[in-house]
């Protein structure tokens, strides 16, 4: 499974990139706003750090505007992909942009029907929001599994990004469902490294080593 980080924070991106496990980055307007920066400047900075796709969300609402804005943003750096929210105008825009070789991540996916339509229009990625479905009392990960099944049934090349990831268990669930990509917040990536038994084992090996060196 490919691992993306879901943030617009450069320090976090640099750190996780240094681990050697980072395949890409997703941003959204909320994450960019948290950094208090200009979207185009920030996605360019990110694209220069990470050797992989960087999703930049664009805010136009009609297909012609989406297409024009997407062309401009995609031209900033070859790593930049366009992120558009699921709606009819997005489907129209995806059809045009994908024919031009501009990759689109269709976001805010909350049903397999939406994912099927996005894939048919030519989306490179779809992003089902796992945590936000859990928030309303459903099992978000079931949607990821459904989309994987539908895409496998028909051989769609569209990759599925498990988004709105809130815990290491969500990442594991996505991996068990065979999801192509998980986009993961920084604090969850840090938690994935840790295990109390690992820390305990390291401390014990260190203590035993120091005892043996002294003897």
Q: How far is the CB of 86 from ligand G3P (least distance, A)?
A: 13
Contact 81, 88 (CB under 8 A): no
- Applying CB under 6 A, which of residues 28, 79, 105, 158 lies at the interface with ligand G3P? 28
Annotation says 44 is catalytic:
no
Contact 148, 179 (CB under 8 A): yes
Contact 106, 70 (CB under 8 A): no
Q: What is the footprint of ligand G3P within residues 140-179 (CB under 6 A)?
A: 163-164, 166
Q: Which stretch binds ligand G3P (CB under 6 A): 77-85, 96-104, 126-134, 189-197?
A: 126-134
The CB density around residue 145, as the number of other CB atoms within 10 Å, is 19
The one catalytic residue among 2, 34, 44, 83: 83
Quick one: which of 138, 146, 186 has its CA closest to 165? 186
Burial of residue 71, with CB atoms counted within 10 A of its CB: 0-12 exposed, 13-18 middle, 19 or more buried:
middle
> Considering the rule CB under 6 A, would residue 85 count as an interface residue with ligand G3P?
no
Q: Which stretch binds ligand G3P (CB under 6 A): 11-19, 124-132, 142-150, 186-194?
A: 124-132
83 - beta bridge partners? Answer: 57, 105
Closer CB to ligand G3P, 122 or 140, in the complex: 140
Closer CB to ligand G3P, 116 or 188, in the complex: 188
Query: For 56, phi and psi rounded to 5 degrees?
Result: -115, 120
Positions that interact with ligand G3P (CB under 6 A): 6, 26, 28, 129, 131-132, 163-164, 166, 183
Catalytic residues, by residue number, are 83
């Amino acid at each position: 499974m490919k691992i993306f980080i879901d943030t617009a924070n450069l320090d976090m991106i640099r750190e996780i990139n240094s681990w050697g496990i980072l395949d890409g980055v997703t941003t959204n307007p909320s994450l960019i706003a948290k950094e208090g920066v200009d979207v185009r400047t920030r996605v360019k900075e990110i694209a220069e750090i990470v050797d992989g796709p960087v999703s930049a969300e664009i805010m136009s609402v009609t297909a012609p505007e989406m297409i024009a804005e997407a062309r401009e943003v995609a031209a900033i750096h070859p790593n930049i992909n366009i992120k558009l929210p699921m709606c009819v105008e997005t489907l129209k825009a995806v059809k045009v942009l994908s024919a031009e070789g501009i990759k689109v991540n269709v976001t805010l996916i909350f049903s397999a029907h939406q994912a099927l339509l996005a894939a048919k229009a030519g989306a490179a990625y779809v992003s089902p929001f796992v945590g936000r479905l859990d928030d309303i009392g459903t099992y978000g990960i079931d949607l990821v599994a459904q989309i994987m099944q539908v895409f496998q049934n028909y051989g769609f090349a569209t990759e599925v990004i498990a988004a709105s990831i809130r815990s290491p268990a969500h990442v594991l669930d996505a991996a068990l469902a065979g999801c192509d990509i998980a986009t993961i917040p920084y604090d969850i990536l840090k938690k994935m490294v840790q295990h109390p038994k690992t820390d305990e084992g390291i401390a014990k090996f260190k203590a035993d080593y120091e005892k043996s060196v002294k003897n």
